[in-house]
Structure 1
């Protein structure tokens, strides 16, 4: 949105608020209860005209003609004397007081009732103004949220642009890469040799550590592994068994159908059950998050990995206190995230200009929201 467009957006919000104020004032001046009475009476009068027009005209149904006139007279006589536009109902009633009515008389009665319709329309105009104001205000708030996100994005980009691209990020990368390689290898070995039952218990225990938790297995697969002898086999063996013919599989398990059903339906889960939940991303997370996560990683990794792998996790927990962590992390983020176009925009000041424009636009919208009582 350009400066001009954002200015229009703010002005539109003010205009919508003024329109609502004017429409509300018009209703208040006329009296909302009285306008509702006008609206109800106009609807009833129009309904009578529509209902009897075909029967009470010309030489048609005399009984319908009398009934129509009586009901219309009764409607008008029951209206309050000070009702806005009461004269419109009286004029229509007077016009309909004839020995014979034609279709043009019904049309004329509708025309005479228009002042009442106009008065009743004040209620609808207020509702329309309120809906428009709410829509414009909602749009302004949504745009403000969009600008908040854009400002955060540009500020982050600007901060990355200020990073020291020559800083020795290997002081972060090497410990992270070393740990990731070690835990991935340890998990592959554990998955290859441990029973599915034992592996599932590690997975289940990881639920207590949200920052190092595995996705849990399907309940029917977990129950099968826990309660049958097949659960004592490693996962690769179970996946291999599931591909056997029934006659071949019967040599290994008592119920080939149960194994094939449980393992086949859980195949995707079993094949994807790797060490990814235990690895650390690159660029790494913030210092506080790494401390908390590494502490949880130690607890989970210690359940299946050799001590040297657990030591790698402990090293990660100490890392933020041993190096200029956030400084190096900003460099890592900048190298990873800034592409050539973004660097060029930073160098020529385009990001700073976009940030200034976004802040100005947000300020205009914020001011308009405050002025209109939003």
Structure 2
């Protein structure tokens, strides 16, 4: 038995035990009647409250007023109890014991002992609540184990699917055009950032808000407004970042208001430095055919604003590849080569992964059945 199966068996066993314990207490309460148990619990609580309040005060030759007060209060309490209250005789017995001229500590101790069976019945309510909480915790443990197992199954199924890939497929037919495009767009973007004005550069980034598959972070509104409304906005972004390092006196030679530049550029320096061409690249291994077709459509609209025709043409070539029937076969082969480790390849070839999948699926079925058999409270 594997460690994962043993862990699942443990949480299922804990759930079954917790459910049995809860049902045992719930059945005891049902046997006596819920309302009757609650009535006994209320009476026992009232009785013990009186005992705790007057024990020591109404005993011996101490506080006579407290002695009278206790006798009257306890007698009135017992008189008001329903005739058919379970363990009513125990309450009556204690009242009779207190009906004398002087009380001692032993009288209070004996009363508590006499009321113990009523207390045991009353305790069933708290016991049921405690066991219900234990049951909920045990059920959560099974649910958490199931979630962990689902993640494991997803991973095993991913590996299994990759194992079906044709590792002899000519993945270079995809890799070469994608790498060529990624290189071109990275170079074109770097040139654009280096040579275009910050106003134009951030304007392009802001434009991508209309293209959700081109995932640039939008420029901060105050930074965008600053470069659009000041003369220094005509400088490239790298120059603005360089200016942010200047002392105010040196910066005064380049801009009209050094403090304004530092307030807008220095504050957002990390944002500016993080901008790169990654949202424009395809990457490797490539996405699914549908994802690539839709993304390439948006990329053409963005890349065409700053890159040369060769770069756009390279992107269109990739979009054409995504329409070919062989694309998914090549992509799966690329993913298998890129993602499968040596250990995973060995498990696939030896059949170990199939056995792991069968075991995990059976384990999942046991956990799901345990949750079905033990519903939430």
Normalised TM-score (structure 1): 0.94
The answer as to whether partners of 1:85 and 1:119 remain within 8 angstroms in 2 is no
The answer as to whether partners of 2:8 and 2:142 remain within 8 angstroms in 1 is no
The answer as to whether partners of 1:203 and 1:213 remain within 8 angstroms in 2 is no
The answer as to whether partners of 1:171 and 1:323 remain within 8 angstroms in 2 is no
C-alpha deviations, 1:232-255, integer Å up to 9, x for none?
A: 111011112222232332222110
Query: Shift in Å at residue 4 of structure 1?
Result: 4.6
Query: Shift in Å at residue 60 of structure 1?
Result: 0.4
Q: Identify the residue that residue 235 of structure 1 maps to in structure 2.
A: 237
C-alpha deviations, 1:25-57, integer Å up to 9, x for none?
A: 322332222222211221111111111112111
Q: Structure 2: 5+ residue runs without aligned partners?
A: none
Q: Identify the residue that residue 166 of structure 2 maps to in structure 1.
A: 164
Matches within 5 A, 1:98-137: 98-137=100-139
- Residues 151 and 70 of structure 1, relative CA distance in 2, 3 Å threshold: same
Q: Identify the residue that residue 268 of structure 1 maps to in structure 2.
A: 270
Name the stretch that deviates more: 14-23 or 352-361.
14-23
State the alpha-carbon separation in 2 of the partners of residues 202 and 5 from structure 1. 54
The answer as to whether partners of 1:212 and 1:297 remain within 8 angstroms in 2 is yes
The answer as to whether partners of 2:94 and 2:111 remain within 8 angstroms in 1 is yes
Name the stretch that deviates more: 86-95 or 182-191.
86-95
Query: Shift in Å at residue 23 of structure 1?
Result: 2.7
Are positions 1:89 and 2:128 aligned together?
no
- Residues 302 and 2 of structure 1, relative CA distance in 2, 3 Å threshold: closer
- Secondary structure of 1:212's counterpart equals coil
- Aligned with 1:248 (options 247, 250, 254): 250
- Secondary structure of 2:323's counterpart equals helix
The answer as to whether partners of 2:293 and 2:323 remain within 8 angstroms in 1 is no
Task: Give the number of equivalent residue pairs.
Answer: 374
Q: Structure 1: 5+ residue runs without aligned partners?
A: none
Normalised TM-score (structure 2): 0.93
Q: Identify the residue that residue 30 of structure 2 maps to in structure 1.
A: 28
Q: Identify the residue that residue 295 of structure 2 maps to in structure 1.
A: 293
TM-align CA RMSD: 1.8
Q: Identify the residue that residue 280 of structure 2 maps to in structure 1.
A: 278
Q: Identify the residue that residue 190 of structure 1 maps to in structure 2.
A: 192
State the alpha-carbon separation in 2 of the partners of residues 88 and 219 from structure 1. 78
